Structure 1
């Protein structure tokens, strides 16, 4: 285990709120797995700091609601680059 789980959960939760980060980007920033970040900010954080958990939950729900838009934009950029390289 990397660090004290309670301290880690608070640190990860604060990072998500400060940066509006996704679970994936938070995991990459700290070098943890997505599973560990998700468990920390959903299960542990709700017991440790309900106020912070509410903020994290709002960011995660916003990210979930927007993920199909980010995926569509990534696909659009991919095919745009392919089209430009063929010209």
Structure 2
């Protein structure tokens, strides 16, 4: 692993921990794929910064517990928007 990958892992970890961001949000913010973010945070970060990984892991687990709720809200919003268009 080269220096830029290590820096990216730490930057991603700090961003996720500070903003309580999802993998998808972090990927969008940094302009990289979700797969890269996930691999950096779950495989590379523990080797580079175990302390930072602990806080990132808590955020990732929280996001995983809440994802079904977010999905339901997104679906509800989608159908509300379709209903508004149909009524007009």
Q: What range describes the TM-score normalised by the shorter chain of this pair?
A: over 0.9
What's the CA shift for 1:36? 1.0
* 4+ aligned runs moved over 4 Å, structure 1: none
TM-score (norm 2): 0.91
Report how far residue 21 of structure 1 moved: 0.6
User: Match for residue 54 of structure 1?
Assistant: 54
3-state DSSP class of the match of 1:32?
coil
Please state whether the residue corresponding to 1:61 is helix, strand or coil: helix
Q: Distance in 1 between matches of 2:52 and 2:33?
A: 21
Shift of 1:73: 0.4
Using structure 1 for the length normalisation, give the TM-score: 0.92
Aligned twin of 1:38: 38
- Number of residues of Structure 1 aligned to a counterpart in Structure 2: 85
Query: 1:33 & 1:55 partners in 2: Cα distance?
Result: 22
**CA offset at residue 84 of structure 1?**
1.5
Structure 2: how far apart are the matches of 1:7 and 1:23?
17
CA distance in 2, matches of 1:79, 1:39: 34
- Alpha-carbon shift at residue 35 of structure 1 (Å): 1.1
